[in-house]
């Protein structure tokens, strides 16, 4: 029996990086949704109920942290990976207070690591 594809939202305003992430996660068997800003991300979250959110922190209209904080419904099982270039302790501390959230620096991880961490957080490995 084939298991249901996991849904992932990529909230990222860099179109090149978005394209790379979308392609990689699609190849890995995920259903991928993309938002270019935090407000669009919230709309997709409400409609599609993703299993995983990969979000930049600095997004237009609504930053990634505030986007996640505004999610309605069951947040307990929501897995979030903040993928950013910001090394600010204030942002790190805000993410640390969230359940099931990771803070990754883009320049410190490769694409395969992002996929591996995502699968591990979703108990797919």
Give the start-to-end residue ranges of the domains of the chain.
Answer: 7-120
Residue 101 token pair:
């959230």
Per-residue pLDDT tens listing for the chain (125 residues) = 456 789 999 999 999 999 999 999 999 999 999 999 999 999 999 999 999 999 999 999 999 989 998 887 666 678 899 998 888 778 787 877 777 788 889 989 999 999 999 999 998 87
With beta carbons less than 8 A apart as the criterion, state whether 9 and 44 touch.
Answer: yes
Q: Helices 15-27 and 111-121, interaxial angle, to 10°? A: 60
Fold of 7-120: Rossmann fold (3.40.50)
């Amino acid at each position: 029996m084939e298991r249901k594809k996991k849904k992932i939202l990529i909230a990222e305003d860099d179109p090149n990086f978005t394209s790379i992430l979308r392609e990689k996660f699609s190849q890995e068997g995920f259903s991928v949704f993309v938002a270019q800003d935090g407000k669009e991300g919230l709309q997709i979250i409400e409609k599609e109920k993703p299993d995983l959110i990969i979000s930049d922190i600095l997004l237009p209209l609504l930053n990634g942290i505030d986007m996640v904080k505004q999610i309605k419904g069951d947040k307990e099982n929501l897995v979030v990976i903040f993928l950013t270039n910001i090394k600010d302790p204030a942002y790190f501390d805000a993410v640390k207070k969230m359940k099931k959230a990771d803070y990754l620096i883009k320049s410190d991880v490769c694409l395969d690591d992002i996929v591996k961490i995502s699968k591990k957080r979703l108990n797919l490995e």
